[in-house]
Structure 1
């Protein structure tokens, strides 16, 4: 009875913590009471203690209790691993998962799902593959949501073919799996396949939800399928009886704006029953950048300045639009506004994994041990690219400087450095996969198409928006992103 009461108190404390009530001190008092009354020999009590500390935000104490627990079961392991991921301490979470494997205790589907979702969030495909291999060796249940997590992980990491294979091996794919694959195909430049999987979802008897339609609309957006996208958009409410979300509106505005159909976009915005959010205005601003719509771009930017004045992306995009139009006085005004408001441009960051080691590059980076070799290679490559017809796109270089300096600034962008490093450190013909924290620029996109053809390499670049698969001078996005 005493043990049950202690556990009840700890659970209550943990629940209070999850409701944002500051009660860590209460939990510590209970902990002290447990030690004084001799209840600290019970494994269940230790598990409840660890849970309480974790939910109260004291992860170090939770780990201390976890390490002292003698009879740790898979539930305790899974909870502790999950806490690290929740606290954005992924390396420690992955390390603890490996400790679990070595302990001989068999992970359950909750463990696998948590680790695979973390792999998806961090684009850690290498570790995800190891987890998949382990799951296969011990014989995981294809009906479990761990299988859905596998589809999600491979889709987010850009290995869309393996994601398809996993889904096809599932007897009855659930909605999460269908949705992950639809979104993955859309992001990977396979919009037709994304829509085919959506039709297969409907034929399977599953009912799409609001998240599914975000993937469907995304597929239409990046294939330029405006009329098809509008058809799906209106079917959300009329055919499937679902309510529109802010994401649906952002997607349809993105689709219309990218296609230059601004009047239709404005009509939908005017008729929206909900207030446009930052994603919708950003989508509209992006479309204005493509088509040089200065008037509407200013309107979208003003709305974004009110919602999130600290976001540098709005200032940079508007400055790019002015720079393209040669309006350098307006560019200078935006720079001054950024300075006055203390807004700092987020640095472009790209990384590539070679032999299980991650290499990170900034624009113009010279800190890497192979910098000299990288820059020499890019210099020679630049000559070959120009011979093949490459012309640097300096339209979006904000600085009003000489053309030669603009070209030099462009050629040392972080994704080009990462791609160059991948080429010089891997055997000929090896596919290269680079990740970037921001949207790739127009010039880098053009340049990498030339590089893929000259070097005969498949180059995948995952930017903040989607995957770009470059091969033999073409990109999977069809230059529509």
Structure 2
């Protein structure tokens, strides 16, 4: 550079760079100026400053126009750029532009190959910031777009830098670079694949970066939809909604594709209510959705037939044409709701529209209707739909044939299923694994276990060899195993059908069910799954647990449950319910309740079958703890929102309570109460659970309000049995027992007892149990005095209960009668004597 400047200053042909300000020409101010005739080298310019070509008289305009001079400067600038000296390059370019050279002329005279090579060199050294900050900004100030300096190798180097940022996951740096390059008019979609950038943003969970990137494209509608959908696939609805709202701001008009995509994402994420809100928002803005948006909404809400039908009927009012997909979705909704009649009516309506030429039924329409009838086990109707397909020249596909086979299999028609499978092969339709599984399932459901295993072994070894009868298994010569993948060929007189067979996890699960109680055979099948690269799922383990327990090995079933967790698979509610059922069937309630407690430990929510199974774990109760366990399960079930069938539990509670009256050496007698007396909405179990809680161990107050005679009897007996077991365990009686009967107004006939609860309780306590019963002093509402019959006032005189001898207070017609709480009392002395008799203590102990 210094030699070049010296040459320029001494030449008589080329214009010297005289007239430059001193601070542009020297790093330090010289003590004397150089003469043009001397041989001393020209002072080295300061690289921190940009030189300017002088406009002094020594440099005339005619000399500035000298092409030889301009070519030299531009060639020099190109050489500097090639060496990566962008600062010097910009100094000369700035000087030329300042001297009057047009930016377009300067760009044309620069050696594009050298400049591009220099850019590639700097980028290869990892100095991206040098290119962006110095070159890009400097060139733009000259009036030249940086994109014009990139050619060939420079573009490839820039692509490599973008690829490096992409692979290293530097999403913020990559998106910022894309924004800058787009601002410099680069075609960023050619530098890096847009889908790769979007996927990186999705992977990092950064919707903001994805939105920033999409906004660099003039037509970014599809990119926004892609962002929304990809976040939906990751079940990240919140990020998808952020991208959706950004798309509405970015696009000048509502984009139906974006609305359809976000509604589909709501379905993927399981938030169907949000999809409805988005649809209502669209209508509120007086925007008419298209058919695709409405179809997506109905599909997401297909589990709610009433809502789907409502949208379906409103399509005509909105001016939206229902296509064949709309009708197919409604049929699907009917199938999910098991509404066969509604599906049939809609199918007939569609057929009428087809006859008028309004639409054309497709294979999905027929397949969906076949599934409707298959689920309802109406196999003849399903075959009729197949005939409709043939008459309409619609070719059944694999799904159609699978549904037809399932229809017959669900009805237990194994031979018919085999016949349909044979028709499928002759029609040239290649079956999938589901078809094979359906055939095996049909055999298992019909208890043709040996046939299921023969079919499976034949398929596994030589491919499918028969369809309608087992006799064809004797002719294996007609079938050839193609290779180690066991892809078979079946030859017919007119065609050859390839029938690939690859077992799935469901295949082995079906076969495991066919093992009955043969645990070792089922275990061998589970081990064989691994040879096909399959992993046992929850159903596989549950079946194995059931088979092991069915053979009588309860502990082995529990050990399988532990092995399942060790294998990295968390047991689900089905697995636990299966294990609990085994424990119940083999009379091991303790282990069943232990498993139920383990479910709560691992936060696995029981279902209705789990609750019903555990509540039947015991055929009778022997201790207070067992009753408390069952009542706790019952209350947990009610809180979970299940409506329990508590008749069985009430029977066991009654039997346990009546054990208070029976002596150990007496035969079981008929209960004084009858189960049929319980109302469907009785509070019995809640009352019993309340009084048997451990927190009420010291409380001997019984509230019988709202109970019938039978229910009141059982509650009183439950408390007495609790007292008895506590007494046997060493807990003494410390207080009297109070029984609350109900509320009456002062002045009413106290002896009046319409429900008969009081009389029934007195008869139970006095006649059946031999306890002394007294009437506690009535508690009067708004009376601040302590109850005279309170257990804490034991020194007050008590009279033996006799309702006929109770005086009646005179009633004043002008006085408002206060409320009176009717109560009975059993003293602790009486309870203690009863316990001594019941337990069989020879010498009565002193009452504490």
| TM-score using structure 2 length | 0.35
Aligned equivalent of 2:752: none
- The answer to which of 170-179 and 229-238 deviates more is 229-238
Aligned equivalent of 2:609: 450
Query: Over residues 248-299 of structure 1, what are the superposed CA-to-partner deviations in whole Å (9 max), with x where a residue is unaligned?
Result: 1111122223333333332332223122111111111222232222233223
3-state DSSP class of the match of 1:286? helix
Q: CA deviation at 1:104?
A: 4.0
3-state DSSP class of the match of 2:270? coil
Aligned equivalent of 1:339: 460
Q: Contact 1:374–1:421 at 8 Å: present in 2 too?
A: no
Number of residue pairs matched by the alignment = 353
Aligned equivalent of 1:299: 419
Q: Contact 1:191–1:223 at 8 Å: present in 2 too?
A: yes
Query: Over residues 396-441 of structure 1, what are the superposed CA-to-partner deviations in whole Å (9 max), with x where a residue is unaligned?
Result: xxxxxxx9xxxxxxxxxxxxxxxx9997666x98xxxxxxxxxxxx
Q: CA deviation at 1:324?
A: 1.3
Q: Does 1:112 align with 2:224?
A: yes
Find the aligned partners of 2:414 and 2:380 in 1 and give their Cα distance.
14
- Supply the RMSD in Å over aligned alpha carbons: 5.1
2:371 to 254, 259, 266: 254
Query: Over residues 27-80 of structure 1, what are the superposed CA-to-partner deviations in whole Å (9 max), with x where a residue is unaligned?
Result: xxxxx9xx89x999369999xx99xx9xxxxxx89x79x998652489957997
Q: Does 1:41 align with 2:150?
A: no
- The answer to which of 284-293 and 315-324 deviates more is 284-293
Larger relative contact order (CA 8 Å, sep ≥ 6): 1
Aligned equivalent of 1:71: 181
1:280 to 397, 400, 403: 400
Q: CA deviation at 1:199?
A: 0.9
Aligned equivalent of 2:290: 174
Q: CA deviation at 1:159?
A: 1.6
Q: Closer, same or farther in 2 for the Cα pair 1:327/1:168, shift >3 Å?
A: same
3-state DSSP class of the match of 1:244? coil
2:239 to 125, 130, 138: 130
Aligned equivalent of 2:537: 362
Aligned equivalent of 2:778: none
1:231 to 345, 354, 357: 345
Find the aligned partners of 2:229 and 2:602 in 1 and give their Cα distance.
30
Find the aligned partners of 2:190 and 2:312 in 1 and give their Cα distance.
33
1:329 to 450, 460, 465: 450
Q: Contact 2:564–2:570 at 8 Å: present in 1 too?
A: no
Aligned equivalent of 2:255: 144
Q: Contact 2:370–2:403 at 8 Å: present in 1 too?
A: yes
The answer to which structure has the higher helix fraction is 1
3-state DSSP class of the match of 1:169? helix
Q: Closer, same or farther in 2 for the Cα pair 1:310/1:199, shift >3 Å?
A: closer
Find the aligned partners of 2:296 and 2:384 in 1 and give their Cα distance.
31
Find the aligned partners of 1:334 and 1:371 in 2 and give their Cα distance.
30
Q: CA deviation at 1:93?
A: 6.6
Q: Closer, same or farther in 2 for the Cα pair 1:251/1:324, shift >3 Å?
A: same
Q: CA deviation at 1:310?
A: 6.3
Q: CA deviation at 1:373?
A: 9.8
Q: Closer, same or farther in 2 for the Cα pair 1:372/1:220, shift >3 Å?
A: closer
Q: Contact 2:327–2:350 at 8 Å: present in 1 too?
A: yes
Query: Over residues 98-137 of structure 1, what are the superposed CA-to-partner deviations in whole Å (9 max), with x where a residue is unaligned?
Result: 38627845645422311233345x3x32x23222035447
Find the aligned partners of 2:191 and 2:637 in 1 and give their Cα distance.
46
Q: Contact 1:152–1:177 at 8 Å: present in 2 too?
A: no
Find the aligned partners of 2:363 and 2:576 in 1 and give their Cα distance.
47
2:203 to 95, 98, 101: 95
Query: Over residues 332-384 of structure 1, what are the superposed CA-to-partner deviations in whole Å (9 max), with x where a residue is unaligned?
Result: 22212331233332236xxxxxxxxxxx9834498998768945998765465
Q: Closer, same or farther in 2 for the Cα pair 1:288/1:129, shift >3 Å?
A: farther
Q: CA deviation at 1:451?
A: 5.2
Q: Closer, same or farther in 2 for the Cα pair 1:256/1:80, shift >3 Å?
A: farther
Aligned equivalent of 2:268: 156
Find the aligned partners of 2:311 and 2:425 in 1 and give their Cα distance.
39
Q: Contact 2:367–2:403 at 8 Å: present in 1 too?
A: yes
Find the aligned partners of 2:598 and 2:221 in 1 and give their Cα distance.
38
Find the aligned partners of 1:422 and 1:130 in 2 and give their Cα distance.
34
- Gaps spanning 5+ residues in structure 1: where? 1-31, 54-59, 349-359, 392-402, 404-419, 430-446, 460-470, 475-481
Q: Contact 2:237–2:269 at 8 Å: present in 1 too?
A: no
Q: CA deviation at 1:92?
A: 4.3
- Gaps spanning 5+ residues in structure 2: where? 1-112, 120-144, 168-173, 464-485, 487-500, 507-534, 542-560, 587-596, 613-632, 645-848
3-state DSSP class of the match of 1:173? coil
Q: Contact 2:309–2:330 at 8 Å: present in 1 too?
A: yes
Q: Does 1:316 align with 2:491?
A: no
Q: Closer, same or farther in 2 for the Cα pair 1:215/1:375, shift >3 Å?
A: closer
Find the aligned partners of 1:43 and 1:219 in 2 and give their Cα distance.
60
1:207 to 316, 321, 324: 321
3-state DSSP class of the match of 1:71? helix
Q: CA deviation at 1:317?
A: 1.3
Q: Closer, same or farther in 2 for the Cα pair 1:102/1:42, shift >3 Å?
A: farther
Find the aligned partners of 1:288 and 1:44 in 2 and give their Cα distance.
69
Q: Contact 2:382–2:407 at 8 Å: present in 1 too?
A: no
Aligned equivalent of 1:195: 309
3-state DSSP class of the match of 1:242? coil
Q: CA deviation at 1:225?
A: 2.6
Find the aligned partners of 2:206 and 2:194 in 1 and give their Cα distance.
13
Q: CA deviation at 1:472?
A: 4.0
Find the aligned partners of 1:79 and 1:204 in 2 and give their Cα distance.
45
Find the aligned partners of 1:210 and 1:44 in 2 and give their Cα distance.
53
Q: CA deviation at 1:320?
A: 1.0
Q: Where do 1:380-395 residues align within 5 Å?
A: 381-382=577-578
